């Protein structure tokens, strides 16, 4: 009636798959923690075209340091210096966003090679359906000089400067 030997073989194959998945999950959890630490410690700079302003930001585009060239006030007007600061901060934020995505993207890409529940149990729901995308679709940015309805600030906090 039952092929006991066949069932034992299949049981061992499934156990080997589960052990392999758990080992891979453990390694990827460690890799994810290391990547999160990298992102948390990320510091990125941006410089204005005129070289008068350098801005350092963290992984989410939060300004950490602004450096002005020693002769910035002699070579510039307050208006153009303000634009240079904005330009340098925007560039730094874009670089921080790109670097954060590069770091975390490698981790997300590695998880796509893991077997999913339907691979082991036909008809089971996919765990990937429950994971959020790395970079969600976002509405278009309102112009920064628009009256702030809070959307623009929330997006900058979530995604960094663009």
Please determine, for residue 20, whether its predicted confidence score (pLDDT) is greater than 70: yes
Extents of the domains making up the chain = 4-130
Report the 10 Å Cβ neighbour count for 38: 15
Looking at domain 4-130, which CATH architecture does it have? 2-Layer Sandwich (3.30)
Q: How far apart are CA 90 and CA 98, in angstroms?
A: 12
Predicted local distance difference test score (pLDDT) of residue 39: 92
Q: Which run of H or E residues covers position 37?
A: helix 4-40
| Residue 110 backbone dihedrals phi, psi, to 5 degrees | -65, -30
How does pLDDT run across 89-148, given as a tens digit for each residue? Answer: 999 999 999 999 999 887 777 666 666 767 777 777 776 666 555 544 433 443 444 444
| Structure confidence at residue 130 (pLDDT) | 62
Question: What is the per-residue pLDDT for 128?
Answer: 66
State the pTM of this model.
0.60
More confident residue, 56 or 158: 56
The pLDDT tens digits for 44-103 are: 999 999 999 999 999 999 999 999 999 999 999 999 999 999 999 999 999 999 999 999
Residues 123 and 130: beta-carbon distance below 8 Å: no
pLDDT at 32: 85
- Check whether 149 has a pLDDT greater than 80: no
Q: Are 32 and 134 in contact (CB under 8 A)?
A: no
- In this prediction, residue 98 carries a pLDDT of 94
Taking the C-alpha atoms of residue 61 and residue 43, their distance in angstroms, rounded to an integer, is: 9
Average pLDDT in the 35-49 region?
94
Torsion of CA 63, 59, 42, 91, to 10 degrees: -60
Instruction: Categorize the per-residue pLDDT at 152 as very low, low, confident or very high, splitting at 50, 70 and 90.
Output: very low
């Amino acid at each position: 009636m039952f092929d006991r030997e066949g069932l034992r073989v299949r049981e061992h194959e499934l156990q080997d798959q589960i052990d392999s998945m758990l080992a891979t999950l453990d390694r990827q959890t460690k890799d994810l923690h290391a990547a999160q630490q990298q992102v948390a410690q990320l510091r990125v700079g941006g410089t204005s075209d005129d070289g008068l302003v350098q801005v350092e930001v963290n992984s989410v585009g939060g300004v950490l340091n602004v450096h002005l060239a020693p002769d910035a006030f002699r070579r510039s007007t307050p208006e153009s210096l303000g634009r240079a600061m904005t330009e340098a901060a925007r560039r730094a934020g874009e670089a921080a966003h790109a670097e954060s995505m590069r770091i975390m993207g490698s981790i997300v890409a590695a998880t796509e090679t893991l077997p999913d529940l339907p691979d082991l149990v036909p008809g089971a729901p996919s765990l990937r359906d429950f994971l959020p995308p790395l970079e969600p679709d976002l509405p278009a940015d309102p112009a920064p000089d628009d009256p702030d309805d809070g959307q623009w600030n929330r997006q900058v906090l979530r995604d960094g400067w663009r």
